[in-house]
């Protein structure tokens, strides 16, 4: 902007006066006299009447007082003057004197006086119209005075005309004082604001950001800081001068945030921009709307900052904190977030379930140790790739650490079916060997599954339970297992019992209860099942479903099995000694069955108790047998060799294939109690039980029904041709002494 030349000299009717420029006082008087045509003659004429007119001033005082106090805008000023310690009477008197001074001959003195009054009025907030009002009253008053003067008509006319000119000059000069004071004030303010503006402008120009403001109504840039000007000076008619450089994919987002800002909602977004060198940079655009009274935005203040370095670092950090560096799969933290979102989505759809799978590479330690860590890493990467190829994109695969992976399935209606589908695909994909450093490696995996909401309602529990199921599957030698609250023990429970089991053995806190088995044809007692109990010092009797899984997971099951075998066989010896030859059944868990020393231990226990093998039956589940059929066959055959019989416990709940039956030396099928409970009236249970009995008899096995709770079930089993029964209806499991007396008093014969 070019500066205007300061106006010089007297303002003439031909020259244009710069209103920002004060006129020199002496020149102003001349100027006023000139414009109002006040001549020296006029002033001399006026002099003749000055005394006569001033004499009537006392009467004007009253009119003037009334005028001042009748108008609140003025009276308020007077009262404020008084409140600030001033004297109202003095102030009014001086104002009156000032009015009457209109007839003084000294124009210059009058001018300076008028200027000061104008300045004072300006400072007090009294607008010039109040002075005009006072002068209007004064003129009326003077006209009356003039009427009383004994002068000619022409003289009266001239006197009135001169007075009018003097009044107008007074008003003009007073307004000038008012206006000049205001001007000075504004000039001072302007100076201050300019200094601040320059400071802010310098600051904004020095910032590396682009800063601008937009008038929303006109949709135009109203301010642009220097860097924005330097780059986009020719595009400032648009709210987004940089729009053409923004990445096409980000433009919609830019429009969205702009619309929000127009509606009065400030926000920010991250966008990419192409730079001159063709590279792309990240920027953050922040919009701050200033609201009009109607809630719409009047101005929008905009800030565009380069966040390329931050964002690259952030994105890198984000990636580091959420990705497994070896496999590039999400890590446990990110997977946890995925799980959280899946659970939230599932909660919104009643009846839907989320599947959480924990997967572990079998024998990975062995590969790592023999191939070396580097090749171990290669193997992990290959496994990740293979898993990635079978997991759907909508589902989530992660490396949870070491050789453990996680698979999360999005909400489904039938969790079991969905899980089995994925598990089958995963297991099938591992049929093909891995090539690692020219070696063909056959790798297998074990999976554990938990489902939301049945097996837990938060991420941690679901993962822990999936892991528990996986460890149980490993122990049982199965490729996968679903979480089972009865079999899988939470880490908290494990921790709770970890130190206590050994001391329970040492302190003789375990005991066996015996439950009889009776022959339904001969009504004789054919055996007794030994069932473990823990007389816990603080928790009372702890049942085996709590003890066995913990002991298995803590690796404490073998000493317990040893103790049960020895105790049960000693008891059996006692019964024989007391004239009741009742064979005893002992449950052998999967882990115990896998123990290479099991047969030796049984043999030793038989010897130690001094009873023959035919006094012992071991109960194992189908799952236990299926873990290693070859080995199972070998163990059972050896046990058979010295007369020990084998019962399949909980028959019907385990494995669906029955081919193992013909390959193993089995003697008894114990039908699981879940089929027996309602067998008296449930047609399906009757059909199942009948089939199992037929199957057992066809294979020459004895068939025993577990969980017989009433006589109706017993009658039904009798009519179905079941060989033997066990259950509360016959007897609850009883401690040793009670069982002995039951033997001697029972209606069932020994």
Measured from the CB atom, the residue of 558 and 587 that comes closer to Mg ion is 587
Positions 331 through 350 that interact with Mg ion (CB under 5 A): none
Q: Is 85 left (phi over 0), alpha (psi -120 to 50) or beta?
A: left
CA distance 268 to 246: 15
Separation CA 112–CA 132 (nearest Å)? 18
Residue with Cβ nearer ligand C2E (396 or 589): 589
Rule CB under 6 A: say whether 548 interacts with ligand C2E. yes
- Give the footprint of Mg ion on residues 599-638 (CB under 5 A): 619
Beta bridge partners of 274: 280
Candidates 17, 496, 545, 597; binder of ligand C2E (CB under 6 A) is 545
SS3 content of the chain, % helix, strand, coil (to 5): 55, 20, 25
Q: Does 170 bind ligand C2E (CB under 6 A)?
A: no
Q: If binding is defined by CB under 6 A, does position 673 make contact with ligand C2E?
A: yes
Q: Which residue lies nearer to ligand C2E by CB, 101 or 544?
A: 544
Bin 250: left if φ > 0, else alpha if -120 < ψ < 50, else beta: alpha
**For ligand C2E, which residue of 196, 728, 741, 744 counts as binding (CB under 6 A)?**
728
Of residues 609, 621, 604, 616, the one with CA closest to residue 643:
616
Nearer residue to ligand C2E within complex by CB, 418 or 625: 625
Contacts of 673 (CB under 8 A, 6+ apart): 650, 706, 707, 727
Token pair 């109690």: residue = 673
User: Which member of 27, 543, 658, 699 binds ligand C2E (CB under 6 A)?
Assistant: 543
CA–CA distances in Å: residue 626 to residues 425, 447, 673 = 22, 17, 21
Q: Is 487 in the site for ligand C2E (CB under 6 A)?
A: no
Sole binder of Mg ion in the list 649, 702, 705, 734 (CB under 5 A) = 649
Q: How far apart are CB 650 and ligand C2E at their closest, in Å?
A: 5
In the shown chain, the binding pattern of residues 350 to 379 toward ligand C2E, with x for contact by CB under 6 A and - for none, equals ------------------------------
The one among 587, 589, 731, 740 contacting Mg ion by CB under 5 A: 587
Which option in ligand C2E, Mg ion, none does residue 548 bind, with CB closer than 5 to 8 A by kind?
ligand C2E
Alpha carbon of 222 to those of 197, 266, 492, 611: distances in Å?
15, 18, 66, 105
By CB under 6 A, which span of 155-163, 286-294, 388-396, 707-715 interacts with ligand C2E?
Answer: 707-715
Task: Name the binder of 743 from ligand C2E, Mg ion, none, CB < 5-8 A by kind.
Answer: none
Q: Considering only residues 538 through 567, tell me which ones interact with Mg ion, judged by CB under 5 A.
A: none
Nearest CA-CA partner of 726 in 505, 513, 440, 479: 513
CA-nearest of 546, 388, 358, 579 to 464 is 358
> How far, in Å, CA of 39 to CA of 171, rounded?
18
CB nearer Mg ion, residue 229 or residue 546: 546
What, of ligand C2E, Mg ion, none, does residue 382 touch, CB below 5 to 8 Å by kind? none
Contact with ligand C2E (CB under 6 A): which of 166, 733, 739, 742? 733
- 79 by Cβ neighbours in 10 Å (0-12 / 13-18 / 19+) ranks as middle
Among 515, 517, 571, 594, interactor with ligand C2E by CB under 6 A: 515
> Could you give the CA distance from residue 375 to residue 326 in angstroms, rounded to a whole number?
12
For residue 549, the minimal CB distance to ligand C2E (Å) is 10
Told to check if 531 binds ligand C2E by CB under 6 A, we report yes
Instruction: Give the separation between CA 384 and CA 405, rounded to whole angstroms.
Output: 8
Is residue 181 part of the contact set for Mg ion (CB under 5 A)?
no
Say how far apart CA 156 and CA 567 lie, in whole Å: 147
Residue 243: name the closest of 274, 219, 270, 212 by CA.
Answer: 274
Q: Which positions lie near Mg ion, rule CB under 5 A?
A: 587, 619, 649-650, 706
Q: Which positions lie near ligand C2E, rule CB under 6 A?
A: 515, 531-532, 543-545, 548, 564, 587-589, 619, 649-650, 673, 706-709, 727-728, 733
């Amino acid at each position: 902007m070019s500066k205007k030349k300061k106006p010089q000299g007297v303002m003439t009717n031909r020259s244009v006066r710069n209103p920002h420029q004060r006129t020199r006082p002496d020149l102003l008087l001349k100027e006023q006299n000139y414009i109002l045509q006040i001549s020296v003659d006029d002033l001399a004429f006026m002099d003749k009447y000055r005394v006569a007119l001033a004499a009537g001033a006392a009467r004007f005082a009253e009119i003037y007082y009334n005028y001042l106090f009748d108008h609140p805008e003025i009276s308020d000023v007077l009262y404020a003057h008084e409140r600030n310690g001033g004297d109202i009477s003095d102030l009014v008197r001086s104002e009156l004197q000032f009015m009457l001074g209109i007839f003084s001959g000294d124009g210059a003195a009058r001018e300076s006086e008028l200027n000061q009054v104008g300045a004072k009025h300006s400072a007090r907030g009294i607008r010039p119209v109040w002075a005009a009002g006072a002068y209007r009253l004064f003129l009326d008053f003077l006209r009356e005075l003039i009427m009383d003067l004994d002068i000619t008509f022409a003289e009266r006319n001239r006197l009135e005309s001169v007075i009018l000119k003097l009044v107008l000059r007074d008003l003009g000069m007073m307004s000038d004082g008012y206006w000049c004071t205001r001007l000075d004030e504004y000039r001072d303010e302007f100076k201050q604001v300019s200094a601040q503006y320059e400071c802010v402008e310098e600051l904004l120009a020095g910032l590396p950001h682009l800063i601008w403001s937009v008038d929303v109504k006109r949709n135009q840039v109203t301010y642009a800081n220097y860097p924005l000007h330097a780059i986009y000076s020719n595009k400032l008619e648009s709210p987004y001068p940089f729009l053409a450089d923004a990445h096409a994919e980000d433009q919609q987002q830019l429009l969205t945030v702009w619309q929000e800002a127009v509606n009065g909602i400030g926000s920010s977004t991250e966008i990419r921009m192409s730079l001159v060198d063709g590279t792309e940079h990240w920027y953050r655009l922040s919009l701050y709307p200033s609201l009009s009274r109607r809630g719409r935005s009047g101005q929008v203040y905009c800030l565009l900052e380069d966040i390329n370095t931050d964002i690259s670092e952030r994105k890198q950090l984000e990636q580091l904190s959420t990705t497994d560096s070896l496999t590039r799969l999400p890590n446990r933290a990110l997977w946890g977030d995925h799980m959280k979102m899946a659970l939230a989505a599932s909660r919104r759809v009643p009846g839907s379930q989320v599947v959480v799978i924990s997967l572990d590479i079998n024998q990975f330690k062995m590969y790592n140790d023999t191939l070396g860590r580097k090749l171990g890493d290669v193997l992990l990467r290959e496994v990740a790739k293979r898993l990635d190829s079978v997991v759907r994109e909508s589902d989530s695969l992660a490396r949870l650490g070491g050789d453990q992976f996680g698979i999360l399935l999005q909400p489904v209606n039938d969790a079991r079916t969905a899980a089995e589908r994925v598990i089958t695909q995963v297991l099938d994909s591992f049929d093909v060997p891995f090539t690692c450093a020219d070696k063909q490696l056959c790798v297998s995996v074990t999976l554990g599954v938990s489902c939301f909401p049945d097996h837990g309602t938060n991420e941690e529990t679901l993962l822990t339970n999936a892991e528990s199921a996986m460890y149980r599957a490993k122990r049982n030698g199965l490729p996968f297992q679903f979480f089972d609250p009865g079999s899988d023990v939470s880490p908290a429970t494990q921790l709770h019992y970890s130190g206590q089991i050994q001391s329970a053995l040492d302190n003789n806190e375990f005991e066996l209860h015996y439950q009889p088995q009776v022959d339904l044809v001969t009504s004789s007692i054919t055996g007794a099942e030994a069932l473990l109990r823990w007389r816990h010092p603080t928790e009372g009797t702890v049942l085996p479903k709590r003890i066995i899984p913990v002991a298995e997971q803590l690796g404490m099951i073998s000493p317990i099995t040893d103790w049960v075998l020895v105790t049960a066989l000693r008891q059996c010896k006692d019964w024989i000694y007391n004239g009741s030859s009742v064979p005893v059944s002992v449950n052998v868990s999967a882990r115990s069955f896998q123990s290479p020393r099991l047969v030796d231990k049984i043999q030793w226990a038989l010897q130690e108790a001094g009873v023959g093998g035919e006094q012992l039956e071991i109960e194992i589940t189908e799952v236990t047998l299926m873990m290693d059929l070859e080995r199972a066959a070998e163990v059972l055959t050896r046990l058979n060799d010295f007369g020990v019989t084998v019962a399949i416990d909980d028959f019907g709940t385990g494995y669906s294939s029955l081919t193992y039956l013909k390959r193993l030396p089995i003697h008894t099928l114990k039908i699981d109690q879940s089929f027996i409970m309602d067998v008296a009236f449930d047609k399906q249970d009757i059909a199942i039980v009948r089939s199992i009995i037929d199957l057992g008899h066809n294979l020459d096995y004895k068939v025993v029904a577990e969980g017989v709770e009433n006589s109706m079930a017993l009658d039904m089993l009798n009519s179905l041709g079941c060989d033997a029964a066990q259950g509360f209806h016959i007897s609850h499991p009883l401690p040793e002494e009670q069982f002995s007396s039951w033997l001697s008093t029972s209606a069932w014969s020994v």
